[in-house]
Each structure stands twice: as structure tokens, then as C-alpha cells.
Structure 1
Amino acid sequence: MNSFDHFSVLLPNGFEDLLPPDAEQEARAITILMDHFAGHGYRRVKPPLVEFEDSLLAPGPGAALASETFRLMDPVSHRMMGVRSDITAQIARIASSRLFSEPRPLRLAYANDILRTRASQQRTQRQFCQVGCELIGHDDLLADIEICLMAVSALKALGLADITLDLTLPRLTNEIMKLYNLSDAARTQVRAALEKREQDSLDALDPAPRESLKALLSACGPADTALDQLARMDLPAELRPDIDRLAATCTALSKALDELGITDIRITIDPVENKGFEYHAGTAFALFAKKARAELGRGGRYDIVCGQSGDRQSATGFTLYMDTLRGAMPASKPADTLFVPSTESWATIKTLRDDGWRVIHGTGQDDRERLQCTHELLNGQIHPIG
């Protein structure tokens, strides 16, 4: 028999026991999401919790997550291993190795817990479940649209409303700093200013980069307005293809949402947002909802580096965060639970369960209300309690 005092049951910061009804709500939501993905041709994979760090932190999605990854020594091989802090890196490894010869585009889905070394202001939990899908080997605009629609329709399948899809171009600010040959110190200053959305902090820059970056800061907001501002900006010609791709994405996405009859989606643009999008190489996005306390998920385009050859294949996908989703989903009605006295036969209990009832079999000294039963079986008849 185990004995726990008050202090022995304390969990480390950022970890929690998922209790009823939250654990059941999360499990149901994952089932809904995975069925939704499967209906669109996405096949489920289940990578291991731990793998060697040279593959887990390989160039691409994995390398950007090195600081968030727990490491440990494998007592068998004496090689360093990492505990996954994001599943996208593992999907990239699977796609470039085990499924390398599979026809493209490759559609994969997943639902697994991840572990991070530290929490953030938005993500207060260090262990949570990620659910998502990846579309690999297709760099056409249609792939970007499919992934955006998959993300939005997944949230709708869970009953969420008033959703915001916030699009961004993570490379844009870095490309501007590169084009104007800013020093490392200036780049650090720019990143801090953009993160805080402080235009005045950019005044120390030379006129050309200063005006470009300030113009980008002012182009945050509803997609139509932001695209108009971006179109009028005097940005370097090298950045125009990304802006044009973003505009085409918004146009095609709006058309697709209209065709699907999804009307409560707000498309916004934040062209300077790049925190957390370090490995993305094209249009990216974050997902929000009116009733959500934080970001529900994020996704976008990235490159997968294939093995020793260094060849790259383009991919796009998204990840949903179940810890945030639980708080944003509509409250579910408690399941009807039937209390059956201990005198009833197991055959009767089986029949009731086959009929769809959740049955609690009495032990002789049960408190039906404390067991949260909604109905009881009396003399062969089912009656509501209370």
C-alpha cells in the first residue's frame, strides 16, 4: 500500500494530472480530430517519445527546438537521446527515411504528448498533447490552402466558433535585415522592437530599413486592409514573391470558406510575427478563437532536409494544442449514468451496456448521487434520479 503526504503529491511546475471530466473530454476531442483527418486521407503515425538527439535535432524543424528539448543518456548505446518537444520534427524524419519511397504528396496525422524544458507565457504546461497533420512533398498554393482549411474545419468539428486565422511571413523581417546588411546588434534591437510592436524603437536604424520595417508594423490587421498596405509599400523586389503568395493564399482561402459555408472565420495578417516560427520557410499561421485564453495552434510551410544528400522537400502542416483547446471547447453534457443494484445479474448489466448505457454496478453500500448517477434501475424499470 502506498502512502503519500501533502508534499509527495506535488508535481513539478508545468505538469498536471488530467482528471475527470477533462481527461475524457480530451480523449473524445482527439478521436473527433483523428477521424476528421482520416476522412481527408491523412494516415496516422505514432513516433517514439524518445530518440537519438542527432536525428531529433537534425536541420529543419528539430534544430529550432534544441533549447526546449530534455536530454538523457541511453544506458544501452551510451548515446545522447532527446525527449520530443514537438512532433513535427519526428514527422520530418519519418518522411525522409522510413517513408522516403512513398508517393508524394504524403499526408500524415498524429496525436501524442510532448515534453518541454520550460513553460512560456502562452504555454504554461510543459507536457501537453499535440494533434495535427502534415502535407509533405507538395509546394503548390493548393497545399497551403488545404492545410489552412484542415485546421479551421478541425476547430469547427470540435464546436468552436469565432475563429481567427492569423497569417504571417516569418522570413520577411529576417530578409529585410539581411538585404540591408544590419549588424548583429541592430538585428537584436529590431527583433525586440517588433516583438513589442514599438515603432519608436526602430528610429536608430538607417532610413531605408527603418521605413520598410515600420511599414510592415503598420500592416497588421484584417487581411484586406493589410494586403492593400503591403501592396503600396516600397519593399525590396526580392520580397515581392512572398507578398504575392500571401495575397493569393488569402484570396483562395476566402473563396474556399465561402464554398464550405464557413462564415465565422476572421482572416488577419501580421507580417512581422516570427517568434516560434523559426523553422518555417513560407506562409505560416496561428489559430485563435474568441473563447480561447491563448493560441489554439499554429502551422505553415517548412523544408525537410533529406539525410546525407541534403536534398530538400517542401512540406506544410499544423499542430493543435489540446491544453488550450480543452478550455475553449463548448461544455459537453455529462453522460447519463445508470445505477444498477448489486442484486441484478451480470446478464442484465451487459444488456443495458449493449443498449448504450453507462452502468455502475452497485456494491451494496453505494451513494448513487455521489457516484454521479443520473438514473437507477428499480424493479426492472429505469428511473431518473432527483
Structure 2
Amino acid sequence: MNDTGLLPEGFHDRLPPAADGLRRFEHAVLGVAHGYGYEQVDPPLAEFEAGLAGRLKGTRVTDAVRFVDPVSQRTLAIRPDLTAQVARIAATRMGHHPRPVRLSYAGPVLKLRASELSPRRALRQIGAELLGLDTVAAASEIVTVAVEALRAAGVTGISIDFTLPDLVATLASDLTPAVRGELIAALDAKDAGRVAAIDPAYLPLVEAAGPFATALDRLRASDPAGRLTSRLDAVAQIVATLGEDIAVTLDPTERHGFEYQTWLGFSLFAQGVLGEVGRGGSYAVCHADGAEESAVGFSLYADALLDAGLGQRERVRLFLPQDSDPAVAARLRSEGWATVAALSPGDTPEAQLCTHLLRGHDIVALD
């Protein structure tokens, strides 16, 4: 069987103009991050499995594709997530850098398995991390950069869903680990019946999810002792920095995918795109000596946006006949035109998928 044109399940080629859309998307996102002082790093696709697994948290450890390095004879792992590598760079090679350190990144990641809802195994991850601080000011900056980056990439209808990942663990510290785990799972599943059977006092957390202002009021009303005041005030301050065109919701008990997050997590959505287009929050970075460092960041999923047609533009290509003036062609390229030169007498604009033709010094649009 000739399968030279086939790809493994979960892998795909990105063709023009979609691949050009990815380039523009990355350029827009990283450009916004650069404007806020985030310098780009570029970790390798694979590294020693032991080190990478030590920094990957939650279920992401099982996502890594592993293989034996023929040179070192040690097990390597292909990254399923870039954040862990950025954290490693900040903790080791940039450990001397004054805190906080701002880093951005873009690159491919590979997952061992895919799900029915997310069948891709090879993905593109783009984001920014602020390491050494997870204060309200730091979190506000990260959320602002994420939103501005999406806007710069042409994304509209942006909405954010905030969560408080360690809220239940903090409130239920008096419960046994087994009961606390069962309660967290029931709240994450929004199973009011199971929550009521474990402890009805936690039912208001299920009912609080919804539009931010309403959810915030319900949470405050369910907390007469004020144990949540500082956390809720912090999230309210972050939301206050967002524009009125951003729809904001709050789901205080959502933990799926936020298992390694600390006091704050958020998901980003866009109009016309199925599922999340990004995710972020606060977390802890582990150093080699066992010390932990606070951090906050976000990752954007370019594949979801490009699959929805965002970032793609119509081809605009200028055909240059063989007798075209090279100086004129160079000037047009400097002005942003994509020029396609005829390499043989029979070459035509149609054959080269061109939208415009250079006729002397004039540019003519083709029907």
C-alpha cells in the first residue's frame, strides 16, 4: 500500500493561505507581548524526560511522547506544553535575572493522545509568562496582554471565564483528604446532588457560576465570615481593568485543566470559535533546590482560531512579466507586495494564482 501522502492520526499539513495566517497571528501576538517587555525564548522541542516530567504538573505528564536518545541513551520527551520549559529557563539560565522576568514564546507541541473534542495531537502554542510575581498587578498585566494580543490578531467577540482553582481546597481544609477530593470532583462536575450529600454548605458555590457581577454578589452573600473577601476583591480588580466590550463570567469551582493553577485561572473564548482559544492563570515554579517561585501567564491556541477562519486573508500576489524592471519590483516588495516573477515565456498570472499584474510601472487588478 502506497501511503506516502498519509499522515498519522492527529497530524496535519497547514497549507497556504492558512500557514500565512499562522505567521501573521504569531507576529501579532508576540508583537504585543514585546511591547509590554516580554522577550522571546525558544526552547528545544525535546529534552530529558525526567527534568520535563518534574516541571509538568496535573495530567500533562501523561501527554508527553517519550523515546530513547541514541546519543545519551537516556529517555527524552517531546514537550506537550511549552510553559514548563519557559519556567525551566527562568529558574536556571535566567535565575540571575531580576524578578519579575517577562518571557514570551511560540512553537509546536505534541500530545501523546487526542480526545474526540480535540482530535489534534500536533498543536501550536503561543503565550507569555511573568515569573517571580503573581500579584493582582501582575495578573492584570497578563490578562491585558492576552486580550490585546487577540485583538491585534483580528479576533473579535472576546470573552473571559475566571475561576479560583484552589478555592475549595482552601475552604474545605477541615475535611479529610478523601472527602475533600470527592467534594472538589462533585463541584467541578456541577453535581448539586453529590455536593448536597457531602456537605450542603458548599451548594452556593455551584449556584454562583455565571455572569461576573452576579456570580460575585452570590459568592459574597454566601461568605458572611469574609473568608473569600481578599480573593474576590483581587479578581474584581482584574476585571475592572478590562474594557466593557469583554464579556466576563466567573466559575469559582472549575478545575478541569487548572489542576496546577494556584489562586487564579482564566479561559479565553472568541465569537465563532468552538471551545477555548486560550488559557492562563497563576502557578508555582519549582527550582532545583526545592524552592518555589510564583508566576502568572497565558497560552493561546492558534489552531482553534485558524480552523475557524480567523487570521486568514485573500491571496494578494503581484505577477511580474519577464521584462519587468528589477528596481521597480524591489520597491514594490519593500511596500509590502508579494511579487511572483515569470520564469518562462509561457508563465501567466492565472497559473501563479496572482491577483494583480505589473504592466510597465502600473499595477492592474485582475478579475
1:199 corresponds in structure 2 to 192
1:253 corresponds in structure 2 to 238
1:311 corresponds in structure 2 to 291
Q: Give matches, 1:324-339, under 5 Å.
A: 324-328=304-308, 330=310, 332-339=312-319
8 Å CA contact retained: 1:56, 1:62: no
2:250 corresponds in structure 1 to 269
1:11 corresponds in structure 2 to 7
Deviation at 1:328, TM superposition (A): 4.8
Distance verdict in 2 for CA 1:19–1:66, change over 3 Å:
same
Deviation at 1:321, TM superposition (A): 0.5
Q: Quick one: distance in 2 between partners of 1:13 and 1:176? A: 43
Correspondence 1:218 to 2:207: yes
Q: Quick one: distance in 1 between partners of 2:308 and 2:244? A: 19
Deviation at 1:367, TM superposition (A): 4.0
Deviation at 1:137, TM superposition (A): 0.8
* Identical positions, percent: 36
Q: Does the residue aligned with 2:4 lie in a helix, a strand or coil?
A: helix
Q: Quick one: distance in 1 between partners of 2:100 and 2:237? A: 20
2:32 corresponds in structure 1 to 36
Correspondence 1:291 to 2:291: no
1:80 corresponds in structure 2 to 75
Q: Residues 122-168 of structure 1, C-alpha deviation per residue, up to 9 Å, x if partnerless?
A: 43211111111111111321111111111111111122222111111
Q: Which amino acid aligns with 1:249?
A: A
Q: Residues 53-93 of structure 1, C-alpha deviation per residue, up to 9 Å, x if partnerless?
A: 1211115x446421101111111111111110101111111
Q: Residues 252-306 of structure 1, C-alpha deviation per residue, up to 9 Å, x if partnerless?
A: 224322xxxx321011111111111111111111111222111011111111111
Correspondence 1:341 to 2:321: yes
1:167 corresponds in structure 2 to 162
Deviation at 1:235, TM superposition (A): 8.4
Deviation at 1:366, TM superposition (A): 2.8
Q: Give matches, 1:146-185, under 5 Å.
A: 146-175=141-170, 178-181=173-176, 183=178
Q: Quick one: distance in 2 between partners of 1:323 and 1:267? A: 23
Q: Which amino acid aligns with 1:360?
A: V
Q: Quick one: distance in 2 between partners of 1:161 and 1:352? A: 31
Figure out how many residues of one structure are paired with residues of the other and give that number: 366
Give the counterpart of 1:140 among 135, 158, 171. 135
8 Å CA contact retained: 1:337, 1:358: yes
Correspondence 1:52 to 2:43: no
Q: Which amino acid aligns with 1:247?
A: L
Q: Which amino acid aligns with 2:302?
A: M
Q: Which amino acid aligns with 2:222?
A: M
Q: Which amino acid aligns with 2:106?
A: A
TM-score using structure 2 length: 0.91
Q: Quick one: distance in 2 between partners of 1:112 and 1:129? A: 6
1:356 corresponds in structure 2 to 336
8 Å CA contact retained: 1:170, 1:282: yes
1:21 corresponds in structure 2 to 17
Q: Quick one: distance in 2 between partners of 1:255 and 1:63? A: 30
Q: Residues 305-342 of structure 1, C-alpha deviation per residue, up to 9 Å, x if partnerless?
A: 110x2111100101001101224564544243211223
8 Å CA contact retained: 2:28, 2:152: yes
Please provide the CA RMSD for this pair.
2.4
Deviation at 1:372, TM superposition (A): 2.1
Q: Residues 212-255 of structure 1, C-alpha deviation per residue, up to 9 Å, x if partnerless?
A: 1x221111011111111111225887xx2xx3344223332243
8 Å CA contact retained: 1:144, 1:300: yes
Q: Quick one: distance in 1 between partners of 2:194 and 2:284? A: 33
Q: For structure 1, which runs of at least 5 residues remain unmatched after alignment?
A: none
TM-score using structure 1 length: 0.87
Q: Quick one: distance in 1 between partners of 2:336 and 2:277? A: 33
Q: Give matches, 1:80-159, under 5 Å.
A: 80-159=75-154
Distance verdict in 2 for CA 1:103–1:64, change over 3 Å:
farther
Q: Does the residue aligned with 1:144 lie in a helix, a strand or coil?
A: helix
